[in-house]
Structure 1
Amino acid sequence: MSDFIKIFDTTLRDGEQSPGASMNIEEKIKIAKQLEKLGVDIIEAGFAASSPGDFEAIQRIAQVVKSSTICSLCRAVEKDILSAYNALKNANSKRIHIFIATSPIHMEYKLKLKPDEVIKRAVSAVEYGKSLVDDIQFSCEDACRSDIGFLKEISKAVINAGATTLNLPDTVGYILPNEMGKIIAELREFIGTQATLSVHCHNDLGLAVINSIYGIENGARQVECTINGLGERAGNTALEEVVMILKTRKELFKNLQTKIKTQEIYASSKLVADITGIRPQPNKAIVGQNAFAHESGIHQDGILKNRQTYEIINPEDIGIIQTNTLVLGKHSGRAGFKDKILSMGFNNVNEKELNGAFERFKIICDSKKEVFDEDIRAILNEETTHIPQVFSLELTQISANSSGKYCAALSIKKDGVEYSDCALGNGSVDSILKSIDRISGINGKLKDYRVEAVSGGKDALAKVVVKVEFEEGKPAIIGHGIDIDTMNATAKAYISALNSYLSMKDLMIDKINTIKI
């Protein structure tokens, strides 16, 4: 009989805490749907009490995701727990995740509470949460720097109060694998089968995945992780790595397995990277662009003779299709295009999204000799992210004068009306952004700018990712744009960030309508 390891994905909560990885509500919903498709057991959709935006995101995810448990994090405080419950009300399966710090340094300097006071607060919080929902997870923050005796004491108390999952986080990524194994084994023996043991490991010393594996080997039956290892500081346990370790070395893990549909791993990685603008490093295990690349002549020779000489994972097992060229062109019809995107795993595209993607595909076919799967994936990822389009780009024209100044003339549409203006800048990018600021009446400060080719070839689509600060001291907003022309992609990315900003904030109507005519 198989013993399942629950996969608890916290990309939408801890992953979003990666610097610059903030997502709007529509993007969170899109990722949540993909996580459900991936087969994630529990989706931690956010921290309901932290902001109205997080509350709404959890609430809407709870309405649309049916097969995964939806979870909200909260402190051991009644108002946090009630907020989590209210956000989760419509979920098919709901979990409240309560945490409090248990290490001496956290209790003394952060909480300013004595150990017995921490236990009292934890028990009270779990009892209150249990009165609202059946599924309660309790986390001992900084568990791996906590006294093992105190961990046992608080664990017993919260389990008696109703906690069904006990999570032991390595909050600061401090512990070594053998130490993690010892803690989990001791707690497993102490609590028996009264609750599911869980691990949540940070990667400050590069040990998050191996610490999670040691946790599993010693009795943990839930792993908290994120897509691409996103997370605070150096990140979290990478979901794709833990899952593929268990699958690839199954002979060592006997009956342990997950419910993850591994063929959705690559699509999930690409989606999260596209939305957050944070790409895995090229040599990242499982999903890095070099993970299945072979440059050495000896390696290439071996791969040609038998792929298993140098590949321990079949690329198709994680959703990488080796035949990447799309056999469609500008004369291809809508039916052929639909069949292609279905074969790529885009099964939930509605008619409006399909029509929009097909229209963009036909435009690209007029300018590009070969259209690749990655081009189609990029188009669909943008087309299926439903951010209200307050502004849309109509025309970009760049020129330079003899003094080295660039001039960008842009036309932007709002509410069906086209507005135009131009601006001088120190370069083409600077002039484009200034033109958009002039037309929209909203000034942004560019914090990051990146360009990459979506696929191969001189005529590759350019994907531009920008991070823009529209209000000083507030998180930067991410915007995306794809186009054959890099400057058009730049303008689209900046406008995308602007639209996201407007969708996240209730601006005064007269400010939104400050348009130069």
Structure 2
Amino acid sequence: MSTEPRRLRVFDSTLRDGEQAPGNAMSPEQKLEVALAIESLGVDTIEAGFPSSSPSDFKATQLISQALTTAKVATLNRATIDDINAAAESGGVENHQIQIMVTGSDVHLEHKRGITRAEGLREVSDSFRYARSLGFTDISLGVEDASRGTDDLLRPLIDVAVQEGAGTIIVADTTGCMLPAEFGDLIGRIRSWIPPSVIISTHCHHDFGLSLANALAGVEAGADEVQATLAGIGERAGNTPLEELAAVLVYKHEQLNVSTTLRTEGLFEAFQLLCETIDLQAPRNKAIFGTNAFATQAGIHQAGMLRNPITYEYAEPARFGRRRTILIGRHSGRNVIRNLFDEIGAPVDDVLVEELYEEYIAGRVGGDCIDRDVVRAIIGRRLADKQLATTGGER
């Protein structure tokens, strides 16, 4: 059996699933700017939007499809002639993955669509044939709510799509209802139904907080692609976070036996652009992008990190465009202040250490913290003032 790493493709849905969530709307020009930042990260495919849904998405698809140079553009479409025409008119048929969304559960067939299984099957064959007639060569089947679909519903949909030329099967855990073992089993079964040349893509939602875990379970079961979004933005609780996926692939690619073209150093810069664009605030505790992801104020942690960051830092901040911050607050100790004297090359002044401890550690209110670089500058000024006082104001 070959141990050669599998090529794992990364599909970015920030501008479609991410953008359609409440509060995340962007203009076509803003979507273009974010798309180019995402392309610079080395993703394989960028989903520009849902062209038939609005003039804005149509224009955004036009702008993005014309501007991308290394990534492929993708669009989401219903299995209708009008949607497929809009996709072709906005994004062309070259370097364009047209995703045709179909219904993967009886729940959606009955309560959302009001159609039968047989009608759902006809949608697949009719829409794929029509897309091919326009010149599309990269056609994917997006199976909405696949995680609540039964095998006797899913397999005929997938079989027909493969027969009609589907290059990718997108398996969506639309409601985020699955456990990793369940989703892995689903991917494994679908992998056994289709030729190895057909890509399986995961589209996982975060309703249970399991979007990344489910995507990784899918990869281990044979998925070839993960759909993700910057900061995990998307409907309801969001989608698989691109930056968290990237972090796992940086440090655990050997265990997963996969390789990607992702470049992680620009991730935080792209996230900052997204934040400015949609007025998104980073939470303190979010992996990779959180304000505290590479920050600490606990004295016991700082004691180790000041000797060697590896003691409490597995993911390296510079790999993701971040910097390490050691903050001083009421959970810090005196040692972090003493260390600052060493850093500026001054003998430790125990009186000044105690003054600073009372002022900046013991005396701080609640969770308020101050960057140790600021305290280091304060120490420098206090020592200079003492020197001036000792020498009568002469330097």
Q: Which residue of 1 aligns with 2:118?
A: 116
Q: Which residue of 2 aligns with 1:141?
A: 144
Report whether the alignment pairs 1:45 with 2:9: no
CA deviations on 1:181-224 (whole Å, 9 max, x unpaired) are 10001111111314100110111111111010101110011111
2:255 to 252, 255, 258: 252
**C-alpha contact (below 8 Å) 2:109/2:115 kept by paired residues:** yes
Query: 2-side partners of 1:71 and 1:250: how far apart?
Result: 26
Post-superposition shift, 1:152? 1.3
CA RMSD of aligned residues (A): 1.7
Report which structure shows greater RCO (CA 8 Å, sep ≥6): 2
Q: How do 1:357-396 and structure 2 match up within 5 A?
A: none
Query: Structure 1 unaligned runs (5+)?
Result: 324-455, 458-517
1:81 to 78, 81, 84: 84
Q: Which residue of 2 aligns with 1:27?
A: 30
Structure-1-length-normalised TM-score = 0.61
Q: How do 1:329-478 and structure 2 match up within 5 A?
A: none
Q: Which residue of 2 aligns with 1:470?
A: none
Query: 2-side partners of 1:250 and 1:105: how far apart?
Result: 37
Aligned to 1:178, the other structure's residue is in SS state helix
Q: Which residue of 1 aligns with 2:292?
A: 290
The runs of at least 4 aligned residues of structure 1 exceeding 6 Å deviation read none
Structure-2-length-normalised TM-score = 0.79
Deviates more, 1:210-219 or 1:110-119: 110-119
Post-superposition shift, 1:319? 1.4
**Which has more radius of gyration?**
2
Query: Structure 2 unaligned runs (5+)?
Result: 326-372, 375-395
CA deviations on 1:280-337 (whole Å, 9 max, x unpaired) are 31100011110001111111111111111111111111112559xxxxxxxxxxxxxx
Report whether the alignment pairs 1:205 with 2:204: no
**C-alpha contact (below 8 Å) 1:243/1:258 kept by paired residues:** no
**C-alpha contact (below 8 Å) 1:159/1:194 kept by paired residues:** no
Query: 2-side partners of 1:253 and 1:53: how far apart?
Result: 39
Query: 1-side partners of 2:222 and 2:253: how far apart?
Result: 16
Query: 2-side partners of 1:191 and 1:251: how far apart?
Result: 26
Q: Which residue of 2 aligns with 1:300?
A: 302
Query: 1-side partners of 2:81 and 2:66: how far apart?
Result: 24
Q: Which residue of 1 aligns with 2:347?
A: none
Query: 2-side partners of 1:41 and 1:251: how far apart?
Result: 20
**C-alpha contact (below 8 Å) 2:294/2:324 kept by paired residues:** no
Query: 2-side partners of 1:92 and 1:116: how far apart?
Result: 32
Aligned to 2:43, the other structure's residue is in SS state coil
Identity fraction in percent: 37
Residue identity opposite 1:302 in structure 2: G
Post-superposition shift, 1:145? 0.1
Aligned to 1:182, the other structure's residue is in SS state helix
Query: 2-side partners of 1:14 and 1:22: how far apart?
Result: 11
Aligned to 2:16, the other structure's residue is in SS state coil
Q: Which residue of 2 aligns with 1:101?
A: 103
Post-superposition shift, 1:243? 1.5
What is the aligned residue count?
Answer: 324
Aligned to 1:250, the other structure's residue is in SS state helix
Query: 2-side partners of 1:279 and 1:164: how far apart?
Result: 37
Post-superposition shift, 1:92? 5.9
Q: How do 1:147-226 and structure 2 match up within 5 A?
A: 147-226=150-229
Q: Which residue of 1 aligns with 2:271?
A: 269
Post-superposition shift, 1:17? 1.6
Query: Whose strand proportion is higher, 1 or 2?
Result: 1
Query: 2-side partners of 1:306 and 1:183: how far apart?
Result: 43
Post-superposition shift, 1:149? 2.3
Report whether the alignment pairs 1:68 with 2:79: no
